[in-house]
Amino acid sequence: MILVFGKTGQVASELQHEKNLTLIGRKEANLLDLDTCKKLIHEYKPDAVINAAAYTAVDDAENDRALADAINGIAPTVIAQSCRKLNIPFVHISSDYVFNGSGSNPKLNSDIPSPINAYGRSKLLGEDGIRNSGCVFAIIRTSWIISPYGNNFVKTMHEMAKKKSTLSIVADQSGGPTPAKSIAQACLRVAEELIKNPLKAGTYHLSGTPNTSWAELATKIFQHIESDVKINHILTKDYPTPAMRPLNSRLDCSAIEQVFNIHRPNWDKSLKNILKQIREIK
């Protein structure tokens, strides 16, 4: 049995459909309640643990750094330490935001992180804590998560298409939109592999292909829903937000393909089904 922290987020919602998992939501274990988190791990004695829970409000984190650090940094560290005591693998989802977004080449999993916002720093805090815990771990960095669940760009555009005839969308940020379902499946496969072979532990990247911009992603969304919303391409500097965003969110995913045979998902192939599910959920 694999124990999953998280129940309602984008990746956790996809994990709900998988077998041999026990999902722990906020009611059972708030990540701020570290004693309960540790207790549950020791009570369940799972074969592995996946952390699919996180603080994801990037802009809010600028004014709520302590909470972001507690959920994204301290909690994963404590979970990793508990996994170390039981000698079980820990799979944790991290973010491209641990990088500063410089350059145009895809970021390697070996590149040195340098986050430019509080959210990215909180995710890096978690990564460092997990590595220092001594547990068998896999950190999976991903980017631009899309799904029918939670808050994400696809759902926002779907709603905006009902209200607006023209939208201004950032066109100078580049990355790979990643279906939450693909991340969920990757977490499971990696956890199962680490149970059998702990030597595969490490830090990996997984993002969708092909790399694109937010404006281009919006164009695809509107094509699929047959909307005639006009898109104005703008620069990041013309759309100021409390938290700085990296311009380059491209990730080199060759390591996870070589070690686990996990390939980059084609986000456009998933997009039509995601939009269909959004309509059905409504």
- Condensed to tens digits (0 to 9), the pLDDT of residues 149-191 reads 988 999 999 999 888 889 999 999 999 999 999 999 999 999 9
Question: Model confidence over 48-105: pLDDT tens digits?
Answer: 999 999 999 999 999 999 999 999 999 999 999 999 999 999 999 999 999 999 999 9
pLDDT at residue 20 in the model: 84
CB 266, CB 204: distance < 8 Å:
no
**% pLDDT > 70, the chain:** 100
**Contact (CB, 8 A) for 137 and 80:** yes
**Under DSSP, is residue 163 helix (H, G, I), strand (E, B) or coil?**
coil
Whether 119 is catalytic: yes
Of 55, 97, 119, 204, which residue is the catalytic one? 119
Spatial CB neighbours of 271, under 8 Å, sequence gap ≥ 6:
146, 154, 177, 220, 221, 224
Residue with tokens 């977490």: 187
CB 17 within 8 A of CB 10: no
d(CA 198, CA 5): 21
Q: How confident is the model at residue 282 (pLDDT cuts 50, 70, 90)?
A: low
Contacts of 12 (CB under 8 A, 6+ apart): 4, 6, 23, 52, 53, 184
